[in-house]
A and B are shown apart, each in its own frame.
Chain A
Amino acid sequence: MIIIPDANSIISALVKKGKALELFEWNDLSKEIKFLAPENLSIEIRRNISLIVEKTGLLESEITVLLNKIEAQIEFIPTSKFKKFLAEAIKISPPNDFPYVALARFLQSDGKNPTILSNDKELLKSLSSRAIEGISLHELLFKLKLI
Chain B
Amino acid sequence: MSLTPEIIALLLLDAVFLFFGGIAFVLSARIAWRWRSHETTELQYALHRQSYLVSVIINYIFMLKIPLFAFFIYTCDKLSAIITGAMCASGVVNSVDFGLYLTLFKIVNLYVFGFWLLLNDADMNEEKLPFTRLKFVLFMLFFIPLFAEIGLEIGFFTSLNVSKIVSCCGTLFSAASTSSISLLFSVDEKIWMMIFYGCFALSVAAYGSRSPLASVVSNLLLALFALIALILFFSPYVYELPTHHCPFCLLQKEYFYVGYLLYALLFAGTFYAAAGGVLDLVQKRYTKRFYNLSLFFNTLYVIGISLYPLSYYLRNGVWL
**Physical interaction between A and B:** no
Tell me the B residues contacting A by CB distance below 8 Å: none
List residues of A whose CB falls within 8 A of some B CB: none
